[in-house]
Structure 1
Amino acid sequence: MTSHQFYLDELAQLVQGELIGQSKFKVAALASLEQAQAQDISFVNGEKYLQEAQASKAGVLIVTAALKDQLSHHQNFIVVDHPYLAFAILTHHFEDKVLKRGIEVTAQIADSAIIAENAYIGHYVVIGENCVVGDNTVIQSHVHLDHDVEVGKDCFIDSHVMITGKSKLANRVRIHSNTVIGGEGFGFAPYQGKWNRIVQLGSVQIGNDVRIGSNCSIDRGALDDTIIHDGVIIDNLVQIAHNVQIGENTAIAAKCGIAGSTVIGKNCVFAGAVGVVGHINIADNVTITGMSMVSKSISEAGSYSSGTGQFETNKWKRTVVRLRQLADVPLTKLVKQIDHMQAQIESIESTLKSRK
């Protein structure tokens, strides 16, 4: 493990914050408010954490100006407008990075592949014909790049990733263990009771600064490419089917499934276990709450839900019974009943007014 130690003035400069306290205070690590020790730095992300911050043993706190004035027990601060963002920036400087460069002797690389001199290719990596690996890219052990795959600059491909289907990755892409990029899409033509396989002839295009978690599948297109645009972040255990397009800076949480040929806009948020049917369009700036089922296109920005929140078990059972009973009543009958009830209410109100 690499040891990371910084002076306080160095850290303040990295996040463009105002330093208050000892400029040469030595910081050993980032830590939570609860676990921080005297040489650690932590952050206070809002007033609801003030009590924890007062009790924290952290040697340095990242705070806003308003919060700093309420923390009388501490002496060393970095004052910024957005403490959580400052914390995110500093994590990159405390991260243990793969600094080794070159190609391990157990790697198998086709003669036609082009590998940057300052890339790292780990043990038992297989790289096929006509592949390209860009500057400063790290490819960990047991990764397989099939023929004609291109990986850009400053990428990180974790162990046991498979990239196939002539996929193209831009710069600063991170892909975590056991993910498959460019696998065959789920395309079959039904005929006379049998499923006839459709060969998937498209590819996958992944933009800059995309992060893809572990155990994900992103299928290549049937004809057109599957496209993941710049800045998209994808959690673990996500399935993205063939020909899907995902707009810039969209976030997709774990266990989401997106069916084929769906187009998702920019700056969307999909919470955990959302399901999306195929061949629909979702506008920019749409949020889908957890375990929702998106069954038709969404044309306007906003938050959408279809899942049912938890009940105590007996209440849930009664609710299900009522829902089933409601489903058995024709909508026209319900409307007539409501109209009749409204007429009765109006009649009673009229009678009461006349008596006055």
Structure 2
Amino acid sequence: MNLQKFSLEQLASFVQGKAVGQTEMQLDGLASLTQADAHKLAFVNADKYLDQANQSKAGALIVTEELRAHITSQQNFIVVENPYLAFAILTHVFEKKHTAQGIEATAQIHASAIISDTAYIGHYAVIGEHCVVGDETVIQSHCHIDDGVEIGKQCFIDSHVVLTGHCKLGNRVRIHANTVIGGEGFGFAPYKGKWHRIAQLGSVLIGNDVRIGSNCSIDRGALDDTIIEDGVILDNLVQIAHNVKVGANTAMAAKCGVAGSTTIGKNCIFAGAVGVVGHINIADNVTVTGMSMVTKSISEAGSYSSGTPMLESLHWKRAAVRFKQLADAPLTQMLKRLDHMQAQIESLESTFKLRK
């Protein structure tokens, strides 16, 4: 395999950094500090990595000016304000690009579909009536694009993805394998002991620069659309129910679940396995820590947590007993008596003040 190589100066120009040392040296990839060799570029993001940086065999390091002063074993640098951001940008330089265009012979595409000449449609993909696929979009093998779906420019749709419910995707959307967008929402009306299915008549609207991981489900709306705004990133195994709105640049880690008709603000962060009940509103700039259960609306930005932190088994069992005791009747009665005594004390204090 022929690796693409870049000079240190070229790489620095990609991130608007300053090349220091052997600016014409050739580098062929990125690596961690511990695994990098003389042909690789690594990054140093904090003081705690300085020991590793001084022992690293990397050909060059991405650093800040301040960190560079503490690295004595290395002479070749790219100096930037934010090494981690520079690293993120350079991953795209070395990423293997999908350059194929055209339609594979085994793909099935309805005559009414509009497919850009620069798009790629993989083997055994199925594209229905009146679909639109934009410029430079890649649709991998075995995808099912149902009738009326619209996909923007420079999107990447991985294998076995299903897009249905007349959903619409913006530009530069990435959807990974086995995800379903626009599936039927979980809507049923209970009557006389039976569940009566509600046909889901809405759709899903996805903005620009959205990333959706593998095995996710985003359900179409019952009446109004489910909306995923620009810049949202979803990890694997995320469930977004019908009529949910997720604000721009919000991030959700794996196994998050959001129940129907909830609105989530912009720039929120949900750690792994967060659960959110339906029909509530969450403000912008809210962080919810891992495995929390959000049961009511959040109106102010900040960090929120729920659940029981990990303890040693014996300590947890003791704590569980105490939790149960909090709800026992005798304790409840004691709290009521304390409240009554507090009220009596306040009444006496008021009487004394009046006599004075």
Percent identity between matched residues is: 68
Cα distance change of structure 1 residues 13 and 313 upon mapping to structure 2, 3 Å threshold: same
Q: CA deviation at 1:337?
A: 4.5
CA offsets 1:189-229 (integer angstroms, 9 cap, x no match): 00000000000000000000000000000000000000000
Aligned position for 1:333: 334
Equivalent position of 1:317 in the other structure: 317
SS at match of 1:189: strand
Distance across 1 between alignment mates of 2:339 and 2:290: 33
Is the CA contact 1:121–1:141 (under 8 Å) kept in the aligned structure 2? Answer: yes
Paired with 2:63 and 2:327, the residues of 1 have a C-alpha distance of: 54
CA distance in 2, matches of 1:314, 1:223: 50
Measure the CA separation in 2 of the matches of 1:331 and 1:246: 41
Partner of 2:72: 72
Paired residue secondary structure (2:327): helix
Q: Is 1:111 matched with 2:111?
A: yes
1:154 aligns with 2:158: no
Report the equivalent of 1:55. Answer: 55
1:116-173, CA deviations, whole angstroms, 9 ceiling, x for partnerless residues? 0000000000000000000000110001100000000000000000000000000000
What does 1:23-102 correspond to in 2, within 5 Å? 23-102=23-102
Q: Could you tell me how far 1:47 is from its partner in structure 2? A: 0.5
CA distance in 2, matches of 1:336, 1:235: 50
Q: Which residue of 2 aligns with 1:195?
A: 195
Superposed, 1:163-182 pairs within 5 Å as 163-182=163-182
- Tell me if the contact between 2:326 and 2:332 (Cα under 8 Å) persists in the aligned partners: no
1:348 corresponds to: none
Contact 1:114 1:130 survives alignment (8 Å): yes
Q: Normalising to structure 2: TM-score of the pair? A: 0.94
- Aligned match of 2:242: 242
Q: Secondary structure at the match of 2:98?
A: coil
Q: Distance in 2 between matches of 1:137 and 1:215?
A: 21
SS at match of 1:322: helix
C-alpha displacement of 1:334: 2.4
Aligned to 2:283: 283
Displacement of 1:327: 1.6
Structure 2 residue runs without a partner (length 5+): 345-356
Question: 1:226: which partner in 2?
Answer: 226
| Structure 2 counterparts to residues 131-142 of structure 1, below 5 A | 131-142=131-142
Counterpart CA distance in 1 for 2:149 and 2:228 is 16
Gap change, CA 1:319 and 1:21, over 3 Å in 2: same
* Contact 1:42-1:58 within 8 A present in 2 as well: yes
Q: CA deviation at 1:340?
A: 7.0
**C-alpha distance in 1, partners of 2:252/2:315?**
32
SS of alignment partner, residue 41 of structure 1: strand
User: In structure 2, what is the Cα distance between the partners aligned to 1:2 and 1:318?
Assistant: 61
Aligned residues of 1:2 and 1:96 also touching (Cα < 8 A): no
Deviates more, 1:331-340 or 1:168-177: 331-340
Deviation at 1:315, TM superposition (A): 0.3
* Whole-Å separation in 2 of the counterparts to 1:4 and 1:319: 58
Deviation at 1:3, TM superposition (A): 2.2
Pick closer, same or farther for the CA change 1:184–1:2 going to 2, 3 Å.
farther
Which SS does the other structure have where 1:255 is aligned? Answer: coil
- 1:172 and 1:208 in contact (8 A); partners too: yes
SS at match of 1:86: helix
For residues 2 and 128 of structure 2, the distance between their equivalents in structure 1, rounded to whole angstroms, comes to 33
* AA partner of residue 283 (structure 1): A
Gap regions ≥5 residues in structure 1: 344-356
TM-score by length of 1: 0.94
CA distance in 2, matches of 1:332, 1:300: 35
AA of the residue aligned to 2:334: K
Corresponding position of 1:351: none
Q: Residues of 2 paired with 1:46 and 1:335: CA distance?
A: 54
